A and B are shown apart, each in its own frame.
Chain A
Amino acid sequence: MAESGAADRIIPHRAVRWLPVWRRNLRVWSKLALPSLMGNFGEPLLYLLALGYGLGALVGRIGDMPYMFFLASGIFCSSTMMTASFEATYSAYSRMAVQKSWEAIVTTPLDVLDVVLGEVIWAATKSLFSATAILLVAWALGAVSGDFAVLAIPVALLSGFCFAAMAMVVTALARSYDFFLYYNTLGVTPMLLICGVFFPISQMPAGVQSLAWALPLTHSVALARPLITGAAPENVLLHLSVLTAYGLVALGVAATLLKRRLDA
């Protein structure tokens, strides 16, 4: 028995060693895909219908944009944040601290960095699922226009990567599930409210506007909203750079902290 597998043993290349971690999570997800997809489609549909029609009737237009368009493109971005944040905190923490799945993985050729990368890319992938679902729902409701809406999808992936990496830093520091409430209350919810998802940033005092521009969700919205509603985004390089920088710095910090935590 010792011989039969020895010949075909290949050490996965460093650059793709995160892939089996990602595939593990995909395998688990695919078992529960139906309820998960239902959440991906059902929830944005409810938000868009309730807020879009209910609030939209009062608001009418924002600039020359129907409120439904404004809202759909905003929720497209906030969903990447919500999905990636949940996956990279609660779900990842379960795998790390409760199921000890990571402990098992790091006794194979894979190491902590591979696990962190696999988890972050997985959470970004889930963001992609939910953002795509929202785009389809919005399109079915007639809230998508222009030929470049499909370009919003890679933006969702980058945005998901950025928020997943940030959430992974929180997971690296967490000692229990309760810890995530700090991040949700002090990080995620404020971003949801001030970064232009539900109403324009220009509605807020100057100080809050400056703060909003320092946060990644604002840049995600600044890219995706014009693409989805048929306009040309401005300062593309700046927005891409902010999202990428947040993502890469957070990834580095998360990897360092988790390496210290797990490989002490």
Chain B
Amino acid sequence: MNAPVVTARALTKMYAGVPVVDRVDVDIDGGECWGLLGPNGAGKTTFLRMLVGRTPPTSGDIQVLGHHIPRQASAMRARIGVVPQLDNLDPDFTVNENLRTYAGYFGIDHGGLRERIRELLEFAALSQKADAYLSTLSGGMLRRLSLIRALVNAPELLVLDEPTTGLDPQARQLIWQRLRKLRSEGITLILTTHYMEEAERLCDRVTIMDHGRLLDSGHPRALVRQHIEPHVIEVHGEGLQRWHEETASRLAPRHEIAGDGILYYLNDERPLLEALSGQKQFSFLHRPANLEDVFLKLTGRELRDG
């Protein structure tokens, strides 16, 4: 169960001489939920493409479920499920036909399939929609269909590229529940996401990636403890800069200017809260440190439009 499911060593992918994934070492254990975080262009999707054998590494090594990739990618892909970033369901087919056709690609086409599809539809709360065409399905339903499509072959490993991007909160909650259920059944999950909250809720381990390099890796709470003081106070308001220079900078060991506000990172929040209580012109938010703070500390605040 806990044998490594993915082992990558010095995995590198260059495009036009530029490393997009740069000497990456990864070990993912069986049964864990492993999250990959990074800004746009960090190399996440390229890493996943190498993992599923869609693009050969420029150098380095990767094994998935004991198969050497890309050489044995086909045999490996028979044992995994992939949920793509953008739904590529078949618009010519009903829900049921989508699942049957996809099962056909795995060579699954027998009596047991009907029962398997019934189970999967139930799992995704789509039983009522079995014979519906995709145009009648909501975004959340399409996403759930993509999820169960990736489960038709009873995979040992599920790879999800931004599984809840663009979904409303209800639809996300349902996907999260289902992913936790799969994890509890022992399926290894690999996911990329831009939602820190999603990573914190689902992942046993997150890895933060930028410019093709892995910056750090660990349990979400451990990463927060390791990189960020436990308290964060975000302050906004007129005259903040001056108050900061005269008062606050002495009370907080570390701060960061973000747009028109200042974030204070504190081990002891009380002196700053006390000082703020006399400053009615400021609005402030006192909150525990979270994964987003870690992410922004490691990858910086500048915009990535790449």
With contacts A108-B77, A263-B54 taken as known, whether A5 is within 8 angstroms of B90 at the C-beta atoms is no
Q: Which of A4, A31, A111 contacts B92 (CB 8 A)?
A: A31
Interface string of B143-163 (1 = CB under 8 A from A): 000000001111010000000
What residues on A are CB-neighbors of B185 within 8 Å?
1-2
Q: Which of A3, A8, A24, A99 contacts B104 (CB 8 A)?
A: A24
Q: Are A108 and B105 in contact (CB under 8 A)?
A: yes
What residues on B are CB-neighbors of A264 within 8 Å?
15, 55
Cα separation A263 to B89 with both chains bound (whole Å): 20
Q: Which of A1, A107, A110, A264 counts the most chain B CB atoms within 10 A?
A: A107
Q: Are A108 and B106 in contact (CB under 8 A)?
A: yes
What residues on B are CB-neighbors of A20 within 8 Å?
101, 104-105, 107
Closest-by-CB residue of A relative to B123 is A1
Of residues 175 through 225 on chain B, the ones whose CB sits less than 8 Å from some CB of chain A are: 182, 185-187
Interface presence of B25 (CB below 8 A): no
Q: Are A109 and B55 in contact (CB under 8 A)?
A: no
What residues on A are CB-neighbors of B283 within 8 Å?
none
Cα separation A262 to B49 with both chains bound (whole Å): 11
Cα separation A6 to B151 with both chains bound (whole Å): 11
Closest-by-CB residue of A relative to B113 is A5
Interface string of A1-15 (1 = CB under 8 A from B): 111111011111000
Cα separation A200 to B151 with both chains bound (whole Å): 58
With contacts A5-B108, A100-B88 taken as known, whether A11 is within 8 angstroms of B75 at the C-beta atoms is yes
Interface presence of A46 (CB below 8 A): no
Q: Are B108 and A9 in contact (CB under 8 A)?
A: yes
Q: Which of A10, A103, A106, A262 contacts B108 (CB 8 A)?
A: A10
What residues on B are CB-neighbors of A31 within 8 Å?
92
Closest-by-CB residue of B relative to A25 is B92
What residues on B are CB-neighbors of A110 within 8 Å?
74, 105
Cα separation A197 to B187 with both chains bound (whole Å): 60
Of residues 1 through 55 on chain A, the ones whose CB sits less than 8 Å from some CB of chain B are: 1-6, 8-12, 20-21, 23-24, 27-28, 31
Q: Which of B73, B89, B110 contacts A104 (CB 8 A)?
A: B89
Kindly provide the distance from the CB of B153 to the nearest chain A CB, expressed in whole angstroms.
Answer: 6
Of residues 208 through 242 on chain A, the ones whose CB sits less than 8 Å from some CB of chain B are: none
Closest-by-CB residue of B relative to A14 is B74
With contacts A1-B154, A2-B187, A108-B102 taken as known, whether A8 is within 8 angstroms of B112 at the C-beta atoms is yes
The stretch that binds A, out of B78-86, B250-258, B262-270, is: B78-86
With contacts A6-B154, A28-B93 taken as known, whether A109 is within 8 angstroms of B84 at the C-beta atoms is no
Q: Please report whether the interface of chain A is mostly helix, strand, loop or mixed according to DSSP.
A: loop
What residues on A are CB-neighbors of B52 within 8 Å?
107
Q: Which of B84, B107, B154 contacts A107 (CB 8 A)?
A: B84
Of residues 105 through 129 on chain A, the ones whose CB sits less than 8 Å from some CB of chain B are: 105-111
Q: Are A5 and B88 in contact (CB under 8 A)?
A: no
Interface presence of A176 (CB below 8 A): no
Cα separation A108 to B91 with both chains bound (whole Å): 18
With contacts A105-B105, A107-B52 taken as known, whether A9 is within 8 angstroms of B78 at the C-beta atoms is yes
Interface presence of A189 (CB below 8 A): no
Interface presence of B97 (CB below 8 A): yes
Interface presence of B116 (CB below 8 A): yes
Closest-by-CB residue of A relative to B107 is A12
What residues on B are CB-neighbors of A4 within 8 Å?
112, 115-116, 119, 154
Cα separation A106 to B106 with both chains bound (whole Å): 11
What residues on B are CB-neighbors of A103 within 8 Å?
84, 88
Q: Are A1 and B119 in contact (CB under 8 A)?
A: yes
Kindly provide the distance from the CB of A26 to the nearest chain B CB, expressed in whole angstroms.
Answer: 11
Q: Which of B89, B92, B106, B120 contacts A109 (CB 8 A)?
A: B106
Interface string of A132-155 (1 = CB under 8 A from B): 000000000000000000000000
With contacts A107-B77, A264-B55 taken as known, whether A2 is within 8 angstroms of B101 at the C-beta atoms is no
Q: Are A99 and B105 in contact (CB under 8 A)?
A: no
Q: Are B112 and A5 in contact (CB under 8 A)?
A: yes
Q: Are A2 and B186 in contact (CB under 8 A)?
A: yes
Cα separation A3 to B153 with both chains bound (whole Å): 10
What residues on B are CB-neighbors of A9 within 8 Å?
78-79, 106-108, 153-154
Q: Are B78 and A109 in contact (CB under 8 A)?
A: yes
Q: Are A104 and B102 in contact (CB under 8 A)?
A: yes
Kindly provide the distance from the CB of B134 to the nearest chain A CB, expressed in whole angstroms.
Answer: 11
Told that A109-B105, A110-B74 touch, could you supply 13 new A-B pairs with CB distance under 8 A? A1-B185, A4-B116, A5-B116, A9-B78, A11-B75, A11-B107, A20-B107, A27-B93, A104-B88, A107-B52, A109-B78, A263-B55, A263-B56
11 residue pairs from A and B, CB less than 8 Å apart: A1-B119, A1-B154, A4-B154, A5-B153, A11-B78, A12-B107, A23-B104, A28-B93, A100-B86, A107-B82, A109-B74
- Interfacial residues, chain B to chain A (CB-CB below 8 A): 15, 52, 54-56, 73-75, 77-79, 82, 84, 86, 88-93, 97, 101-102, 104-108, 110, 112, 115-116, 119-120, 123, 151-154, 156, 182, 185-187
What 6 pairs between A and B have smallest CB-CB spacing? A5-B154, A100-B88, A108-B105, A12-B107, A107-B82, A20-B104
